[in-house]
Structure 1
Amino acid sequence: MEESEHRFISWPVLAMMAFVTVIGFEDIMYNFKNQGMGVITSWIIMMFLYVIPYALMVGQLGSIFNHEGGGLSSWIRGTNGEFLGYFTAWTYWAASIPYVVDSAQSVIVGFGWAFTGSNEFQAKMPNSLFTLVTFIIFIIFIIVQRHLANSMEVLSTIGGFAMFAMTVLFVILSIVGLSQSGWHMATQPMNIHTIIPKFDLKYLTTIGLLIYAVNGAELVAPFVTRMKKPKVEFPKAMITLALMTTFLTIFGSFSLGIFFDANHLPNDLKMNGDYYAFQALGQQYGVGNLFMYIYAWTSVIYMCALLAVLLDAMTRMLIADTGDKYMPKFLQKKNASGLPINGYILTCALSGFIMLLGVFLPEMNDIFNWLLNLNGIISPGVTCWIFFAFMRVRKNSAKYPSEYVFIKNDKIAYDFGLFLLVVTAAATIFGIAPQDVSTYSGTWWYELVINIVAIFVLIGLGALLPLIRKREEEYGIAFDKAQWSAMIATTLIAIIAMVWLGGSHFSARITLIVVIAAVALLLLWLIGRRKPVQTNLKNS
């Protein structure tokens, strides 16, 4: 049956769809804080050596596996088998945990600015209250999305475009304003040396957040086959995406240099910088806090909608995309409304665990920065799967025919995929080193430990679930009530012990937390070794 003309997606529309998912004002702000005006050079390098080839590789993978929805896990499943497909789905889901926690915290920050017009609300909030409010927001939005899921999807789409519009507005008004009398660059001197970053170890630790800022093109991969002439139109869309992203990141960073001295940036720039920027823009144009309030409410609406959609979509995706072979039955259990209730509990539990790790940091700003930087570790790590799948495809291209092909020569294409895989893996590893704190201070060592713990738990749990599923197949159930009770009690005791250690010295806290975690893991392992009592369900 011939598809009608109006059902095709044009390349400008696809480019715009990808653009909204890839870059935002906060991404520009975060990396400006990390690298100052030197980030301009980093953005140029990223666009031509990373974003364009990355997006075009995604296009070929989406074209090959279009019948499976074009998702990342289906690409790995189709090239490397069922287990790695499952594990990719898990890691993609696990990478969403820090993101949704970060989104929930951004909601709190947004409301603070929307109601008070300053950073006073979050500046005075204790860490424990901040964590508690964040967790309450999780619970509220799990309830809200159940009734308003479709509305939230519409709101997140509208909010996404509104956020993009506010970013463009900021860049245009800043650059136009600079030509007016009375305006000047806060960053001085402004010359070629200012925009060249210092390529040292600290720089390497910030690359992960750059990659985190520009990834997301895989979300539009399934639309490749809905284009009329994908071989011609998809590269146009991706090159347009790269050009728009390059324009916005370069001029966005330059615009920030108008209002902030890149040599002396506020410590809370990652958390409050976008609000400071719009506040400064409004004051320069003589409209007070108008721009800031518009941006604050735009951010609140967008982040609320995004949070609700994410909490629902990520849980459903995990349960639906991994199948019966590796996912325990108790996680697939649904209530009368068809919701994976135990999946939601797992999401909340892991989100609470991540928040608990950060609650002992000195200030709320440290929590926000740490969580953001955690995204800069886990998200690039998951992106490695994309390049791995692409390399597998190009190693045996005859087995994977595609309507669109990135670089006809398989050897060159494979080497390009390997290059991006190595770069992304290196950025992930270097990103584990803490940022935004004094090197080798107590806080630095604590953040290093909780970075490793967070990665170990989020990724390691994905390796344990197939073993739990195996127990279900062998015994009929994974654990009996006594085992569940013992594991829950052990976990709670470990958590209480860690909370009790919250006020101790960092070095003592790190040592004791490691010991408690090791003992808890040992006890959980010993509990799990025992066969469940209800073995009579095995053959039922």
Structure 2
Amino acid sequence: MLSKQGREKMDNLENNRHYISWPVLAMMAFVTVIGFDDIIYNFKNQGMGVITSWVLMLFLYVIPYSLMVGQLGSIFNKEGGGLSSWIRGTNGEFLGYFTAWTYWAASIPYVVDTANSVVVGLGWAIKGSGKFQDTMSNGQFALWTLLVFVVFIAIQSRFKRSLELLSSIGGVAMFGMTVLFVIMALSSLGMGGHIATQPMNLGAIVPKFDLKYLTTVGLLIYAVNGCELIAPFVTKMKNPRREFPKSMLMLVVMTAFLTIFGSFSLGIFFDAHHLPYDLKMNGSYYAFQALGQQYHVGNLFMYLFAWTEVIYLAALLAVLLDAMTRMLVADTGQKYMPRFLRKTNQAGLPINGYLLTCFLSGFILFLGVFLPEMNDVFNWLLNLNGIISPGVTCWIFYAFMRVRKDPKRYPSQYVFIKNNKLAWWVGFWALAVTALATVFGIAPQDVTEFSALWWHELVINIVAIAVLIGLGGILPLVTKREEKYGTAFSKLQWITMLLSVGITIILSVFVGSTQLAERNLLVVGIVLLGLVILCMIGWKKPYKNKKP
């Protein structure tokens, strides 16, 4: 037993320990979960009916999702609380690696979409309109996006800490702008403003539950996920069992206010029955432009939002490019990740990991180049996030189900639902909803169903998913080649494979001038031929003699 002095010393240490309060944790989660653009995207998909979708999503999905994350973060707090550590702890090393890979792969469309948004934001911030991007071809848009990648990969290592602080400040400022928009939009009604969406009644906010609706659920999930990022902080609360639910309740209340009243506010300025075709790309700027006109201050609010958006997204992009690449090479383990990808330069930067990130980002951009307009490219990239991101979220619910199947093995300071069977079924419900949203999300949005363009987007959706996820299954085989031969591929093999990839891209670009229906078959055929050549080259031994 401890002496009196020992007990007093322990009490003093406990009192001096820095704890995170539940309101602070709620704000941290809020910044990672929802933003103004998320409201715009889903308003475009569902109109005023999205209000009902937000209510259902908050109570049937967000609450259980965030509370499950809290328990998982509490159980695996020594491993840092990351998603891959949850799967590694419940299902073994390989599935932990594959989870880390899919989480990283899901970040690729996100960073590409972020880079696109930086280009669009710069156009509005400088020109004060969407004319900058309207004058660009898809190829020029892709080149600008790649240029943004190169610039931010070059500067992130020098200014990483300041960029992290800038992205945090920018994130809070973005939410401040969103709250400002909602309050001022609602206040404008008392100043003689009118609602553009008519009729505004109960029927207007009920969505039509059809196939098109099911294809948009994935983007709703994409909008509200990200709560797992605050999981490591659960154990840093003084009383997680009592305080964490309070944080999540505060999170839900704030998210409900922003999504429900934010969607209603958009209905004040936009007719939900006749929305602009480029609302996803330019809707945020249109909204603040309309707010400025309502208050007779011109484009003041639009410029404030545009520069806030550019600064925040630029800093976020630089941090993401660094964090996701480091996570890839550090969290996947030496057993499955090839040595050449784990290689670092003198500054400790995983240079080949950066090259892989740029290569796959360029590949995603390349897939979108053949779409008719830049607005189609933007929408397709955004919708691709609505497929891959919910797919990765499935790992969270799978890990939770495994934990509740064997609760004695996984003790926790915080427990979501004491009854293990009920908790398991709640986890299964969330997994089933997310998996179905992922599958239905593969069907293209924002285009006419079963048109040539619809089929084209369906093909590139499948190709993008197959490459991003499938590569994660190939890399362990490459690692085995390194172990067996000392190196995965010889210089000649690398050169030949890169040439085959280059020729495949050139041929695909060449057929880009053909009709859309013919282009689908030709591009798929060329890509398949390129894959066959890559497999044939990669199958051969890099050297005649094995590693001694």
TM-score (norm 2): 0.97
Paired position in structure 2 for 1:149: 160
Structure 2 counterpart of 1:389, from 371, 384, 399: 399
Structure 1 counterpart of 2:209, from 184, 189, 199: 199
- Are residues 1:165 and 2:176 paired? yes
- Are residues 1:113 and 2:124 paired? yes
Please say if residues 477 and 535 of structure 1, whose CA atoms lie closer than 8 Å, have aligned partners that are also in contact: no
**SS of the residue 1:458 aligns to:** helix
1: CA distance, partners of 2:187 / 2:174: 20
How do 1:482-501 and structure 2 match up within 5 A?
A: 482-501=492-511
For 2:64, give the aligned amino acid: P
For 1:159, give the aligned amino acid: G
Deviates more, 1:425-434 or 1:6-15: 6-15
For 1:187, give the aligned amino acid: T
* Residue deviations 1:26-63 (CA, integer Å, cap 9, x gap): 00000000000000000000000000000000000000
Please say if residues 60 and 406 of structure 1, whose CA atoms lie closer than 8 Å, have aligned partners that are also in contact: yes
Structure 1 counterpart of 2:292, from 248, 261, 282: 282
* Residue deviations 1:297-331 (CA, integer Å, cap 9, x gap): 00000000000000000000110101110000000
1: CA distance, partners of 2:536 / 2:545: 18
Paired position in structure 1 for 2:35: 24
For 1:64, give the aligned amino acid: I
Structure 1 counterpart of 2:254, from 244, 250, 255: 244
How do 1:31-180 and structure 2 match up within 5 A?
A: 31-180=42-191
Paired position in structure 1 for 2:304: 294
How do 1:63-462 and structure 2 match up within 5 A?
A: 63-181=74-192, 183-462=193-472
2: CA distance, partners of 1:174 / 1:3: 47
**SS of the residue 2:446 aligns to:** coil
TM-score (norm 1): 0.99
Measured after TM superposition, the shift of residue 3 of structure 1 is 3.7
Please say if residues 476 and 535 of structure 1, whose CA atoms lie closer than 8 Å, have aligned partners that are also in contact: no
Structure 1's consecutive aligned runs of 4 or more residues displaced over 2 angstroms after TM superposition are 1-6
2: CA distance, partners of 1:362 / 1:5: 61
Deviates more, 1:347-356 or 1:171-180: 171-180
For 2:470, give the aligned amino acid: G
Measured after TM superposition, the shift of residue 509 of structure 1 is 0.8
2: CA distance, partners of 1:42 / 1:268: 22
1: CA distance, partners of 2:351 / 2:508: 28
1: CA distance, partners of 2:469 / 2:242: 39
For 1:403, give the aligned amino acid: Q
Measured after TM superposition, the shift of residue 6 of structure 1 is 5.5
Measured after TM superposition, the shift of residue 175 of structure 1 is 0.5
For 1:507, give the aligned amino acid: A
2: CA distance, partners of 1:89 / 1:14: 25
Measured after TM superposition, the shift of residue 255 of structure 1 is 0.1
For 2:124, give the aligned amino acid: W
Paired position in structure 2 for 1:532: 542
Deviates more, 1:52-61 or 1:432-441: 432-441
Please say if residues 153 and 306 of structure 1, whose CA atoms lie closer than 8 Å, have aligned partners that are also in contact: yes
1: CA distance, partners of 2:213 / 2:411: 40
Measured after TM superposition, the shift of residue 347 of structure 1 is 0.1
For 1:156, give the aligned amino acid: S
2: CA distance, partners of 1:70 / 1:4: 25
Identity level (%): 70
Please say if residues 475 and 534 of structure 1, whose CA atoms lie closer than 8 Å, have aligned partners that are also in contact: no
C-alpha change, 1:534 and 1:221, in structure 2 (3 Å) is farther
2: CA distance, partners of 1:535 / 1:156: 51
Measured after TM superposition, the shift of residue 534 of structure 1 is 6.6
Measured after TM superposition, the shift of residue 381 of structure 1 is 0.2
Q: Is there any run of 5+ residues in structure 2 with no aligned partner, and where?
A: 1-9
For 1:127, give the aligned amino acid: N
Measured after TM superposition, the shift of residue 384 of structure 1 is 0.2
C-alpha change, 1:480 and 1:4, in structure 2 (3 Å) is farther
1: CA distance, partners of 2:486 / 2:318: 35
Q: How many equivalent residue pairs?
A: 537
Q: Is there any run of 5+ residues in structure 1 with no aligned partner, and where?
A: none
**SS of the residue 1:527 aligns to:** helix
1: CA distance, partners of 2:14 / 2:503: 61
For 1:81, give the aligned amino acid: G
